[in-house]
Amino acid sequence: MRIEFASALTWLWFSAGGVLVLMLAWNLSLRRMVQQRTDELRRELTSRQAVEAELRTKQDNLLALIENADGSIWSVDAEYRLITANSAFQRNVQDAFGRELAVGENVLECADAAPLRAAWCTYYDRALSGEHFTIEAPRQAITPHEWVEYRFSPIRDQAGHITGATVFGRSITERRRAEQELRESEERFRLAFENASDGVCLVGLDGRLLRVNARMGEIFGYDRQAMEGMSVNDFTHPDYQNVSPQFIRRAIETESVREEFEKCYVHRDGHLVWGRVSSSLIHDAQGEPLYFISYVQDITARREAEQERAAWQAQLLEAQHMENIGRLAGGVAHDFNNLLAVTLMRTEMSLPLTSEESSLRRNLLAIQAATQRSAELVRQLLGFARKQVIAPKVLNLNLVLAAMLPRLRQLAGAAIELVWRPGADLWPVKIDPSQLDQILIDLTRNARDAITGEGAITLTTQNITVSAGAQGLRARGMSVAPGDYVALTMIDNGEGIRAEVLARIFEPFFTTKEIGKGSGLGLAMIDGIIQQNHGYIAVDSQPGQGAAFHIYLPRVQAMPPENVVDASVPHPAATILLVEDDPGVLEMAQDVLTHLGYRPLVASTPTEALRLAAQTPRLDLLMTDVIMPEMSGQALAVQIAAIHPGVKQVFMSGYPADTIALHGELLPGTRFLQKPFSLRDFSTIVATVLAPADA
C-alpha cells in the first residue's frame, strides 16, 4: 500500500515536473515566436516607412515637376471639381478672371460663356470616358492671340476605375506663328513658283524632276504632270548630256551654292530649245543636300539672233576678205591683162607665119596656151571677187543646158551617167551665158572628181516660189528672199562632203584635191557669180551619201531677143581712132587694125585723141581704154561724139568691173572688150560694131 502510494507520489512528482518543463518550453517557444513576430513587424514598419518616404519623395518630385512644368497642369474629378492644380494654372485663371480656383470648385466656372462651357464639358467627358487626346485652342486670357495645346488623360484608381481627368496645357503661340509664317512663305513660294515667267523646277540628287511649274512645261512642250519624274537628260540635246550630271556631282562635292550655265534641249516636237539655267543646291537643317532648285530661262530667240548675227558677221568678214582679194586682183589685173593681151595677140599674129612642123610654131602654141591659162586665172580671181565685167542676157536654162549636155557628158567621162531632167514651162532668168557655162563646167568637174569608178550625175531644173513669212529656203546660212526662182540642181552619188569641209568649200583657194589638180577658185568663183546675179547657192551633203548643189536664180520677165548681126565681113574703108595709154597694147592694136585693112589713128592720151578727131573729117569708130590719166574713156567718148555725131564706140580695159560700170554691169548699148582678148575677139567686135544696122 505504501509502495503504491509512493509510486503514485513519484508519478505525480514526475508528472508535475514534466508539466512544468513543458510549460517552460512552451513559454520559451512563445517568447521566441513573439520576438520573431516583433522583429518582422519592426522590419515591416521600417520597410513601410522607407516606402512611404520614397513615396513622399516621389510625390514631392512629382509635385515639383508639376509645379515647375512649362505649362498649366490640373486635374478634376467626375463632377468637374478641381482636385489639384499647379501655380501656372492658377496664374492663368487669375489673369483671366481675377481670382484663383479653390480645390473642390467646379472648373467650368472658368468659362464665362455657354458655348465655351459646353466645349470644355465635352473635353472632360471624353477624358472621363477613357480617351487620351490633344486639342489646340485659343486661350481665354488677356492676350487673345495666344494659342494653347491641351492634352487630356483619364485618372484611374488601383482597380482601374476612372475617377477623374488630368489636363496639361502649354503655349504653342510661337509654334503656331512659325507654322503660319511657314504657310505664308510656302504660299508665296507657290505663287512665285507657279507664276514665274521662267521655267522653275525642283531636281532630285539623281537628276529627276520632283516638281515643275507650268512655264517649264510650256518651254519644252510637256504637261507638267508628265515632266515630273522625268530625268533632265530625257529632253537634253545629246551634245549636252554631261552638263547636268557634272554640275550635280560638282555641287555635292564642293558644296557650291549656285551656278549658272547654258545648255541645249530638245522640244517635244523636235526643235531645239536653248536655256540659261540658274541652279542652287538646297540643304536641310543638318546641312545635308536635299535637292536643287533650278530656273530655266528660254533664250532660244536670243541664241538664234546671236547665230544670225554671227552669220552676218561671218558674211561681212567674208565680204571684206573677198574685197581685199578683189582689190589685190584688180590692182594687178590692169597691167597683167595688158601684158597678156600683147602676148596673146602677137602670138596669134605670128602663128600664120610659121609652118605646121616647125619648132617655132610649137613654141608659139605653148605660149598661146600658157597665156590663155593665165588669162583664165585672172578671170577666176575677178570672178570670185565679183569684179569681172558681165553682159547678162535673158535665157531659158533648159535651152542652154540642152545645148551644153554633149560637152558636160564628155567632161564627166564614160563611166559616169549624166541624167538630164528639165522642168516644164521654165521661167526665164538673166545671167551672162559665159558665167552659166563656167558654173556648169566647174560643178560637173567637181562631181566627176567625187565619184570613184561608175556613178551618176543628175541635172534638174524647176520653178519654185518662196513665200513671205514662211519657213523658206536657206542658202549659206541666209534665208532665201521671198519671190520666184528657177532652181538648177546638180546631184552626184559620190563620196560626199565632210562637215568640216562643207563649211569651207566656198572659201577662195580652199581645195581638198591634190596639188596641181585644183586652184581652189572654182566654187569660190561660182559663189561670186551667183551673188553677182542676185541668186543663192546651197549644198546638201553627208559623207558617203553624195552631194547636191542647189542654185536659185531670180525669175525675170522675158525680153525680145537681140538682133544677130553677121560680123564676119570686115569694113576696110572705116577710120578707127584707137586711144590707149599702154604703149605695147597701142602698138599691137594698131598692127592688128592695119593687118585687117582698117585705117587706124592712134593716140596715147585723150588730149591727143581730141586733136586727131578734130583734124579728121570722118570718124567711124572710137576704140578707147576706159581708165586713162587725163580723163576717162566715157568722158572722152562724149567729147568726140560732139565732134563726130553718131560715131560708134568700143571700150577696152584690163581693170575690174567696179571701176568700169555700175554694179559690175555694162551700161545698156555699150560695147566692151575685156583684156586680154584674142585676135578673133578683137576683129569680131570691130566688124560687129561697124556692120550696118540692117545687116
pLDDT at res. 474:
59
Handedness of CA 500, 504, 506, 512 (dihedral sign): negative
Residue 247 has pLDDT above 80, yes or no: yes
Instruction: Assign 695 a pLDDT band (cuts: 50, 70, 90).
Output: very low
Which three cell numbers mark 206?
539623281
Contacts of 649 (CB under 8 A, 6+ apart): 621, 622, 623, 624, 637, 641, 670, 671, 689
What's the CA gap between 113 and 92, in Å, rounded?
Answer: 17
- The 10s digit of each residue's pLDDT in 413-439 is 888 899 999 999 999 999 887 788 888
What mean pLDDT do residues 615-631 have? 87
Helix (H) or strand (E) segment spanning residue 77 = strand 72-77
What's the CA gap between 664 and 94, in Å, rounded?
Answer: 107
Secondary structure (3-state) at 368:
helix
Phi first, then psi: give them for residue 430, nearest 5 degrees: -120, 115
pLDDT at res. 331:
62
Helix (H) or strand (E) segment spanning residue 249 = helix 243-254
Query: Looking at residue 555, what DSSP letter applies?
Result: B
Helices 522-532 and 433-450, axial angle in degrees (round to 10): 140
Contacts of 79 (CB under 8 A, 6+ apart): 106
Residue 662 has pLDDT above 60, yes or no: no
Contacts of 613 (CB under 8 A, 6+ apart): 577, 619, 640, 643, 644
Phi first, then psi: give them for residue 166, nearest 5 degrees: -115, 140
Beta bridge partners of 273: 265
Which three cell numbers mark 286?
543638318
Instruction: Assign 555 a pLDDT band (cuts: 50, 70, 90).
Output: very high
What is the average pLDDT value for the chain, to the nearest integer?
79
Instruction: Please give the model's pTM, rounded to 2 decimal places.
Output: 0.41
Greater model confidence, 271 or 182: 271
pLDDT at res. 658:
47
Residue 141 has pLDDT above 80, yes or no: no
Q: What is the per-residue burial (b if ≥16 Cβ within 10 Å, else e) of 612-640?
A: bbeebeebbbbbbbbebeebbbeebbeeb
Beta-strand relationship, 575-579 and 599-603: parallel
Alpha-carbon torsion, ordered 399, 400, 401, 404, to 10 deg: 120
Residue 670 has pLDDT above 80, yes or no: no
Q: Does residue 676 have a cis peptide bond before it, meaning omega lies within 30 degrees of 0?
A: yes
Single-letter amino acid code for the residue at 87: S
Single-letter amino acid code for the residue at 531: Q
pLDDT at res. 567:
42
What's the CA gap between 144 and 158, in Å, rounded?
Answer: 41
Which three cell numbers mark 418?
549624166
**Which residue is associated with the grid cell 561724139?**
641
Instruction: Assign 473 a pLDDT band (cuts: 50, 70, 90).
Output: low
**Secondary structure E strands in 161-286:** 162-171, 199-204, 209-212, 258-266, 272-283
What mean pLDDT do residues 493-506 have? 79
pLDDT at res. 330:
62
Are 593 and 578 spatial neighbours (Cβ–Cβ below 8 Å)? yes
Greater model confidence, 48 or 518: 48
Burial class (CB in 10 A: 0-12, 13-18, 19+), 50: exposed
Q: Diameter of the chain by CA atoms?
A: 226
Secondary structure (3-state) at 166:
strand
What's the CA gap between 307 and 324, in Å, rounded?
Answer: 25
Instruction: Assign 165 a pLDDT band (cuts: 50, 70, 90).
Output: very high
pLDDT at res. 457:
92
Phi first, then psi: give them for residue 606, nearest 5 degrees: -60, -35
CA-nearest of 526, 341, 560 to 445 is 526
SS3 labels along 323-339: HHHHHHHHHHHHHHHHH
What's the CA gap between 230 and 224, in Å, rounded?
Answer: 10
Instruction: Assign 664 a pLDDT band (cuts: 50, 70, 90).
Output: very low
pLDDT at res. 519:
47
Residue 209 has pLDDT above 80, yes or no: yes
- The 10s digit of each residue's pLDDT in 22-33 is 777 777 777 888
- The 10s digit of each residue's pLDDT in 324-347 is 766 666 666 666 777 777 787 788
pLDDT at res. 428:
93
pLDDT at res. 367:
86
Greater model confidence, 90 or 619: 619
Residue 470 has pLDDT above 50, yes or no: no
What mean pLDDT do residues 612-616 have? 91
Residue 10 has pLDDT above 80, yes or no: no
What's the CA gap between 627 and 606, in Å, rounded?
Answer: 11
What mean pLDDT do residues 357-385 have? 74
pLDDT at res. 292:
87
Long-range contacts at 260-269 (CB < 8 A, ≥ 24 apart): 262/299, 263/236, 263/237, 264/236, 264/237, 264/239, 264/240, 265/220, 265/235, 265/236, 265/237, 265/240, 266/235, 266/236, 266/237, 267/220, 267/221, 267/235, 268/220, 268/221, 268/222, 268/235, 269/221
